[in-house]
Amino acid sequence: MAWIDSPEHHRHLADEAERLFTFGARAALPTGGFGYLDESGEVDPQRPVELWITCRMTHVFALAALQGRPGAAELVDHGIAALTGPFADREHGGWFPALDPATGSPVSTVKDAYPHAFVVLAASSATAAGRTGASELLAKALETSTTHFWDETAGMVVESWDREFATLEAYRGINANMHTVEAYLTAWGVTRERMWLDRALRIVERTVHGYARENGWRLPEHFDPQWRPLPDYNKDAPAHPFRPFGATIGHWFEWARLTLHARAELLALGEQAPSWLLDDAAGLFDAGVREGWAVDGAPGFVYTVDWDGQPVVRERMHWVLCEALGAAAALYAATKDERFDAPYREWWAYAERYYIDADGGSWWHELSPANEVSRTVWEGKADVYHAVQATFVPRLPLAPAFAPALAAGLLVG
């Protein structure tokens, strides 16, 4: 039996998920929403209450609630209250990206696709968990996504609007599209409206089978309004947390996993899945290992590489490792090829040694090239989304998505 499939490992994953849920619960704010956690697990009072964190934590606690964790359902309701309350722009639609923690008023009014994708994800998972108001929130989130972000001609989502949805930023990004795929697959799992699966597949095909394959798997991240790559974008700010220069290793793994989820949805319907879905997922995974893992002589995945595959930002982000674990587990589930088991086991041992903070809780968000705690890109322990999901991939089928799979009782271990 592969280690990925072992009951002992699954018990460990369940314990780790519970530890992360306990840490993450401290992010709930009495004034609404979820805050950004510091290294000790306290909300950082210097930061606003951010939409993407509130959505991701709402999603996480929907997963916990679907397992029957005490108190988790109330935390989902807490998130829904924030999303239907102070985050919602009742005048122009959509959701504000950040709120003042003292007053609850918006500190920014930009409408970005990235956090709006997480509104769909949170609402979908909360709907799967049967929480009051979640289905209405989901309907509104999907309507907003269709009306303002989905570009039918491109088969992708646009990036960022002003508050009134009148002026669109002259930039297109892969990151927002990646999380839109995640959100649409979860919405499909909850609503069974085929449009969301079809849109997810369109994004995956253009991104993975197009841009990634055509560029030797070094996926461009930044584009102009005509979807032409901008290879020098943010060359002077290479460590940007959301729009870094070059190719982002962790996204190769994340796209590989999402591609396999989309493939599994087709197979679950009894439909033929194009062969490139599996082939390209494996191609992205192998490239990520080849160009990302221990390329500078120390274990760990570098953050970004340039267009020749050379490391640019060598800090090791915890989310990159989480997505590598998820991609390895997904590829094993899709193929039963034990070549994915050995790196998966190696990476969990690496996580245990360097990332998992057994004393303070959660995972260190960033390590230096020497695998010491670093804070150049990410300070604190913002949320537990990536780490929690890494504990679920090996214990759930690839389809449906996490929350509807848990609702269907498909969890192993």
Give the phi and the psi of residue 317 in degrees, each rounded to 5: -90, 140
Measured distance CA(173)–CA(153) in Å, rounded: 16
- What is residue 227's DSSP assignment? -
Measured distance CA(204)–CA(210) in Å, rounded: 9
Q: Give residue 325's Cα distance to chain centre.
A: 13
State the helix-helix crossing angle for 72-84 and 113-128, rounded to 10 degrees: 140
Both tokens of 245, joined, read: 């220069």
Both tokens of 169, joined, read: 């930023």
Measured distance CA(183)–CA(119) in Å, rounded: 8
Both tokens of 137, joined, read: 């929130």
Measured distance CA(348)–CA(221) in Å, rounded: 28
Q: Which residues contact 308 (CB under 8 A, 6 or more apart)?
A: none
Residue written as tokens 């004034």? 31
C-alpha torsion sign, points 130, 399, 302, 370? positive
Residues with catalytic roles: 251, 386
Residue 317 near residue 328 (C-beta atoms within 8 A): no
Residue 287 near residue 216 (C-beta atoms within 8 A): yes
